[in-house]
Amino acid sequence: MRIVKEAEERREEILDAAEKLFAVKGFDNTSTGDILDAVGIARGTLYYHFQSKEEILDGVIQRITARLMGDASEIVQQKELPVLERLTKTILSLNVESKLGLEIMEQVHRPQNALMHQKMQASLLAGIHPILTELVEEGIGQGIFHTQYPESVVEMTILYANTAFDELSVTGLSPEQRERKIAGFIYNLERLMGVAEGSLQEAILAIFRGSRLGSNIKANQGPKCCE
């Protein structure tokens, strides 16, 4: 048991060092030698745990995703809170920027780190889909949402949000363009969920105010759609 524990601790040390280096230098610019120096181990020890730098990346992303999904699952289970409040809190808990810092997110979005971005994106999408579907199904049971296809609604919402707002995070749109983009997202999400126009605005705007994407949205003012 002692040997197993030490192996697990060493693996975590490697992942800790790699995560910090990826955040500062980027995945492509970090070598296995950099990781070896940071941890203070021999190359053979590194290869005992990971066969390549890509495997280390997979380990970093899996660990990040596990932390985020754990936080999200805890919120979903807080049944004393209304569904829309839990939906807002769940999505806010997935704000990778707040978990890893702006440095790593800037690195992830750079073209040379496309592999890291793709793997993190796929891991998060796979993990959050069943969590959000559970919330939507609960909302359907309470008469809040009206759709026969909760799984598809969640999938389309995630893909739409990921594509549209991943682009927003790295491109310079004006405040007006940003607000219209967010307003369009809310407008279409309400139709996917089968709710009246404006029903989700407060909840969704709260999510954007909690991220850089909504930094220009005032607390008492939301974007107007289709003017």
pLDDT digits (tens, 9 = 90+) for 48-66: 999 999 899 888 888 888 8
Which of residues 128 and 103 earns the better pLDDT score?
A: 128
pLDDT range class, residue 4, cuts 50, 70, 90: very low
Alpha helices in the chain (DSSP H): 2-25, 32-39, 43-49, 53-76, 83-93, 96-100, 102-108, 114-141, 150-168, 175-193, 201-209
Give the list of residues 6+ apart from residue 90 with CB closer than 8 angstroms, or none. 72, 75, 76, 131, 132, 135
pLDDT range class, residue 107, cuts 50, 70, 90: low
Q: What is the pLDDT at residue 193? A: 93
Q: What is the pLDDT at residue 34? A: 96
Mean pLDDT within 213-222: 45
Q: What is the pLDDT at residue 89? A: 86
Q: What is the pLDDT at residue 83? A: 92
**Two tokens at 182?**
């967010």
Q: What is the pLDDT at residue 215? A: 46
Q: How many CB atoms lie within 10 A of CB 148?
A: 8
Instruction: Report residue 187 CA to chain centroid gap.
Output: 22
Mean pLDDT within 176-180: 84
Domains defined for the chain, CATH in brackets = 1-51 (1.10.10.60), 68-214 (1.10.357.10)
Q: Is the pTM of this model over 0.85?
A: no
94 vs 105: CA distance, rounded Å: 13
Residue percentage of the chain with pLDDT more than 90: 37
Q: What is the pLDDT at residue 150? A: 94
Residue 44, pLDDT > 90, answer yes
Q: Is the dihedral of CA 50, 55, 59, 60 positive or negative?
A: positive
189 vs 166: CA distance, rounded Å: 17
Tell me the residue type at 48: Y
C-alpha closest to that of 192 among 157, 143, 142, 141:
157
> Which DSSP string do the residues of 34-77 spell out, in sequence order?
HHHHHHT--HHHHHHH-SSHHHHHHHHHHHHHHHHHHHHHHHHT
Q: What is the pLDDT at residue 62? A: 84
Mean pLDDT rounded to a whole number for the chain: 80
pLDDT range class, residue 27, cuts 50, 70, 90: confident
